[in-house]
């Protein structure tokens, strides 16, 4: 089976971002989410990313950047040339590809309810 490079930005909010490349199996029609799940299961169990619905584009949890463009990992197709995956640029980084996606209004309401 052909393998393609998946370059992932890693690190936390206090770390200098670093890029790691894994070579994941490639089949036509695979999503970026499929590749990330493979990486976490087979190569690096510490890779942090969000997903819930698995390729149904229903939960909106897997929003990130693929080759510099904002996309859902579950619907972005893996390229034969590989891809670079990064967290959202305009959100607070939690770790690796996980960002804080809670709307500001909800944070204020939660803080007031404490």
pTM, two decimals, is: 0.86
Q: Which residues of 85-106 are buried (b: 16+ CB within 10 A; e: fewer)?
A: bbbbeeeebebbbbbeeeeeee
For residue 79, list its beta bridge partners. Answer: none
Residue ranges of domains in the chain, CATH in brackets:
3-112 (3.10.20.30)
- Give per-residue pLDDT as tens, 37-77: 999 999 999 999 999 876 666 677 899 999 999 999 999 99
In sequence order, what DSSP letters do the residues of 10-27 get, joined into one string? E--TTSPPEEEEEEEE--
């Amino acid at each position: 089976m052909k393998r393609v490079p998946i370059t992932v930005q890693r690190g936390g909010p206090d770390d200098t971002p670093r890029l790691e490349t894994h070579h994941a199996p490639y089949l036509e029609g695979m999503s970026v989410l499929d590749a990330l799940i493979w990486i976490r299961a087979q190569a690096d169990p510490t890779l942090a990313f969000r997903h819930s619905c698995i390729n149904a584009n229903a939960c909106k949890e897997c929003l990130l950047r693929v080759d510099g463009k904002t996309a859902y990992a579950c619907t972005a197709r893996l390229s034969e040339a590989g891809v670079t995956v990064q967290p959202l640029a305009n959100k607070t980084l939690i770790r690796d590809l996980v960002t804080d996606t809670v709307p500001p209004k909800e944070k204020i309401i939660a803080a007031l309810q404490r």
